[in-house]
Chain A
């Protein structure tokens, strides 16, 4: 795997496809995009890989860095962890066991469902919320885009983040420990945020995964390969399946007071309220970047998250009496994050308060001259963002078409 920088993120702009319009610009929750010379650019330090730019791009001009199946050849034994949202897809009539058989035919020997980690995660979450001395409301760490959103825009709320490891990594680390040297552990990602979470993990020293594959790539291969072989399948119980949709934590942590919010802009709005302490007493915030939760992930081939949600709920019902193959005790060593999650440094205008105040005064001065209509024609998402770019010497006031 190539070396990654500290702020690696997986979203990229396809320069030959980008038309320089402003759809992504207006919808980015962290104002990470600028359009310069008719081309969208992503500010690496601000991007949280939520994927809303992909969702809103009419031209398909964004791409996501991912491994393809050729990485499997580096390992003798290959294990795949799939998110529950993957089984919510319509495989054109293939049954779950046929889908698994085809995954094995493509080169894997074992498949685990991420929900197995979720079951231990939920059990431990309930325990610390009931007994532990934690800062309520806790904010769930299951969605990596929400964690990154907090690092970029809400650094003072990071103390609310759950101390637990993610379901993905709880399971991953447990499976990794059982595997030999020549075995590869892979994660199937429903969204770019989870790709980034594996390539540049937060809160743990090293990801247990050797590679990460986009869900739409495997989906295409499953439909193409017309054969099946056998392998080992480990599926979770119903609460593990529910991680794939919004409301799963809320439902399975009842009667704890859990607020479930999907859609990254809705999460932003709520965190602003939480900052001002304008929210009722709650135990946990289940925030998910994508509409309807992971079933709305942009790397799933089916973009209609409501159909995925429907099929996931069917799957949950089928598992009603299923029991997870691993218990909380099996995963006990990996239940907690081992490192603090830090704010991104870009957030502060300067390390020094005096210098930051000076820059802020310049931003105010430029902002006063702008029309304050946030049209986006200058290539910055808002007049305020342009003023900041000008103050930092990254743009000019003449970029505004009204001046």
Chain B
């Protein structure tokens, strides 16, 4: 039952606000075309968007890996950015280390990780300060097909 049905890697360029959100938009489109439950798609898309914007705001580059299983969707966001000093603190709504110029653009409001947690069924964050961060989240699919 754990057969991987589909996977795809989306490359993300840090600081590229122009194309920010494209990877999560592509993920959403792929899931829509597969006929996956719209509620699952919405949660995956929103969580993916937050993960994507974290890579864009804080790092030079990174990637999102989408994996679709019959009963579950997994997204793995990997970057080689500065890492998160205190993961527990970063999970707090409103806590942010974003510089003012990023906040002026409407990002870095400290809702990213909390929003991923809110939309995912499971969330795992591995971060090594100075080396990078890996954010893995999973969303269960209630009905396997349309």
Chain A residues proximal to chain B, CB less than 8 Å: 155-156, 272, 275-277, 347-354, 356-358, 360-361, 364
**If the complex has contacts A156-B42, A354-B5, A360-B30, are A349 and B49 also in contact, measured as CB distance less than 8 A?**
no
A159 nearest in chain B by CB position: B38
Could you tell me the distance between the alpha carbons of A272 and B42 in the complex, rounded to whole angstroms?
11
Q: A357 touching B145 by the CB < 8 A rule?
A: no
Q: A156 touching B35 by the CB < 8 A rule?
A: no
> Which B1-56 residues have a C-beta within 8 angstroms of A?
5-6, 8, 21, 24-25, 28, 30, 32-36, 38, 41-42, 45-46, 49
Q: B18 to nearest A CB, angstroms?
A: 15
**If the complex has contacts A360-B30, A360-B33, A361-B6, are A351 and B42 also in contact, measured as CB distance less than 8 A?**
no
Q: B32 touching A353 by the CB < 8 A rule?
A: no
Q: B144 touching A356 by the CB < 8 A rule?
A: no
Name the A residues within 8 Å of B49 (CB-CB).
Answer: 276
Could you tell me the distance between the alpha carbons of A358 and B35 in the complex, rounded to whole angstroms?
13
Q: A128 to nearest B CB, angstroms?
A: 23
**If the complex has contacts A351-B35, A360-B30, A360-B33, are A276 and B45 also in contact, measured as CB distance less than 8 A?**
yes
Q: B46 touching A277 by the CB < 8 A rule?
A: yes
**If the complex has contacts A276-B28, A357-B6, A361-B6, are A349 and B45 also in contact, measured as CB distance less than 8 A?**
no
Name the A residues within 8 Å of B8 (CB-CB).
Answer: 364
Q: A367 to nearest B CB, angstroms?
A: 10
Q: B145 touching A353 by the CB < 8 A rule?
A: yes
Q: Does B105 contact A (CB under 8 A)?
A: no
Could you tell me the distance between the alpha carbons of A364 and B68 in the complex, rounded to whole angstroms?
15
Q: B145 touching A155 by the CB < 8 A rule?
A: no
Name the A residues within 8 Å of B21 (CB-CB).
Answer: 276
Best-buried of B5, B8, B36, B42 by chain A (most CB within 10 Å): B5
Q: B37 to nearest A CB, angstroms?
A: 9
Main SS class of interface, A: helix
Could you tell me the distance between the alpha carbons of A155 and B38 in the complex, rounded to whole angstroms?
9
Q: A388 to nearest B CB, angstroms?
A: 9
Name the B residues within 8 Å of A349 (CB-CB).
Answer: 33-35
Q: A275 touching B146 by the CB < 8 A rule?
A: no
Q: B28 touching A353 by the CB < 8 A rule?
A: no
Could you tell me the distance between the alpha carbons of A353 and B40 in the complex, rounded to whole angstroms?
14
**If the complex has contacts A353-B144, A353-B145, A354-B70, are A156 and B34 also in contact, measured as CB distance less than 8 A?**
no
Could you tell me the distance between the alpha carbons of A356 and B5 in the complex, rounded to whole angstroms?
9
Name the A residues within 8 Å of B6 (CB-CB).
Answer: 357, 360-361
Could you tell me the distance between the alpha carbons of A350 and B49 in the complex, rounded to whole angstroms?
26
**If the complex has contacts A155-B38, A351-B145, A353-B70, are A276 and B33 also in contact, measured as CB distance less than 8 A?**
no
Name the A residues within 8 Å of B25 (CB-CB).
Answer: 272, 276
Known: A276-B25, A360-B30. 15 other contacts (CB 8 A): A156-B32, A156-B42, A275-B28, A276-B28, A276-B45, A347-B32, A348-B33, A348-B146, A350-B35, A351-B35, A351-B145, A353-B5, A353-B35, A353-B36, A360-B6
Name the A residues within 8 Å of B28 (CB-CB).
Answer: 275-276
Partner of A357, one of B32, B34, B46: B34
**If the complex has contacts A276-B46, A360-B6, A361-B6, are A352 and B145 also in contact, measured as CB distance less than 8 A?**
yes
3 interchain residue pairs of minimum CB distance: A156-B38, A357-B5, A357-B6
Name the A residues within 8 Å of B42 (CB-CB).
Answer: 156, 275-277
Q: A78 to nearest B CB, angstroms?
A: 45
Name the B residues within 8 Å of A364 (CB-CB).
Answer: 8
